[in-house]
Structure 1
Amino acid sequence: MNVSAAAIPDRDAARFVERFGDAWAGPHPEALFDLLHPEVRLLQPIFGPTTGRAAADGGFVRPLLRFLPDLRLRVARWSAVGDVVFIEWNASATLAGRPLRWSGVDRFLLAGERAIERVAYFDALPLFMAVLLRPSCWPAFRRSGLWRSWRTMLVSHAGARRTS
């Protein structure tokens, strides 16, 4: 990925953040993908590294929204430096009839109006624990397809710990 380090105007960063907030208010998957460059690289807890919008769509966005259809992210605050935008967000959803909330930060590297890279930072343990401790959600979790990604990620982390 060869992206210039040119600074983006504050109004462009503000517009990107506004579009991010609007996309997650629905959520609207098409609006989410419109934020991303076709060859975007996505790094996040729970899911392995993903490259490209199509891989993100099938690999975690649609499965996640199948499992948590009322998932919403609200922008808490943001900052931009050069071509990098940081967005702090608060997420909420319902899992097995009970509220689920967590917070995080996304770091975006912009190329024009779209992100060429997104790195998400949040503590995934509360999400794992919520799924594990709410057995009534297990069938929906399996149907969503998320279990494949989580299983792969957990196995790879366990293997890395054994070899280190």
Structure 2
Amino acid sequence: MDEQRAAILDVRTGERGSYADWVRLFDEVWEAPRERLERLLALLSDEIVLKAPTRPPVSRGKEAGRRAFLRAFRAFPDLHARSKRWASSGDVLFVEMTFTATIAGEVFSWDSVDRFIFRNGEAIERIAFFQDSTAVARRLRRRPAGWRQLYRLAAG
């Protein structure tokens, strides 16, 4: 696969670009993900598999992903992220990022690495690896404001 034209930048149009282009768009989305949810989803295959330590085991498909992201945005209205660096090898892309959100009334940041697997240029799987996957849960359980956020995250 040509590394310079490896990724589909918009599954709606089939526009292609490099992994660097894909990461740039991914980063732009995470500056204001609530407002740019459809753009985020356009970076992902319709059959995307999403896994994260703070969520149920797996979200399969774009609609399940949309629901999972909407739950997260309801629980953390100011959630955003910024990538620090990225690397790729063949059909695998790693993006190291820092997420920030108000949790239980306090601004909190945590590091994560998203591993994407691409097939025919489409991002078909994302697994998030948090540096400390229990840190967010501990903060949510500390105070009543966090309990409400935890409920929103679970109930949608």
TM exceeds 0.5? yes
Counterpart residue identity of residue 3, structure 2: I
1:24 aligns with 2:30: yes
Say which structure is richer in strand.
2
Q: Which residue of structure 2 aligns with residue 158 of structure 1? A: none
Helix, strand or coil: the match of 1:9? Answer: helix
Alignment of 1:46-65 (within 5 A): 46-47=54-55, 48-58=57-67, 60-65=68-73
Q: Which residue of structure 2 aligns with residue 99 of structure 1? A: 107
User: Percent identity between the aligned chains?
Assistant: 33
Q: CA RMSD in A?
A: 1.8
Structure 2: state its 5+ residue gaps: 6-16
1:81 aligns with 2:105: no
Which deviations, in whole Å up to 9, do the C-alpha atoms of 1:21-56 show, x marking residues without a partner? 011111121111111100011122122111101011
Counterpart residue identity of residue 82, structure 1: G
Question: Structure 1 residue 7: deviation in Å?
Answer: 5.1
Q: Which residue of structure 2 aligns with residue 159 of structure 1? A: none
Distance, in Å, in 2 between the alignment partners of 1:112 and 1:24 is 24
Which deviations, in whole Å up to 9, do the C-alpha atoms of 1:56-77 show, x marking residues without a partner? 111x200100111111110000
Distance, in Å, in 2 between the alignment partners of 1:22 and 1:105 is 17
Question: Structure 1 residue 20: deviation in Å?
Answer: 0.7
Question: Structure 1 residue 95: deviation in Å?
Answer: 1.8
User: Aligned pairs, how many?
Assistant: 141
Distance, in Å, in 2 between the alignment partners of 1:89 and 1:106 is 8
Distance, in Å, in 2 between the alignment partners of 1:25 and 1:55 is 22
Misfit runs of 4+, over 6 Å: none
Distance, in Å, in 1 between the alignment partners of 2:99 and 2:144 is 22
Greater gyration radius = 1
Distance, in Å, in 2 between the alignment partners of 1:66 and 1:148 is 10
Residue in structure 1 matching 2:3, options 2, 8, 13: 8
Say which structure is richer in helix.
1
Moved more, 128-137 or 70-79: 128-137
Question: Structure 1 residue 139: deviation in Å?
Answer: 2.6
Helix, strand or coil: the match of 2:18? Answer: helix
Distance, in Å, in 2 between the alignment partners of 1:112 and 1:21 is 22
Distance, in Å, in 2 between the alignment partners of 1:69 and 1:97 is 12
Distance, in Å, in 1 between the alignment partners of 2:133 and 2:155 is 16
Helix, strand or coil: the match of 1:102? Answer: strand
Distance, in Å, in 1 between the alignment partners of 2:145 and 2:73 is 17
Change (3 A) 1:15 1:49: same
Change (3 A) 1:19 1:112: farther
Q: What TM-score comes out, normalization by structure 1 length?
A: 0.79
Moved more, 43-52 or 73-82: 43-52
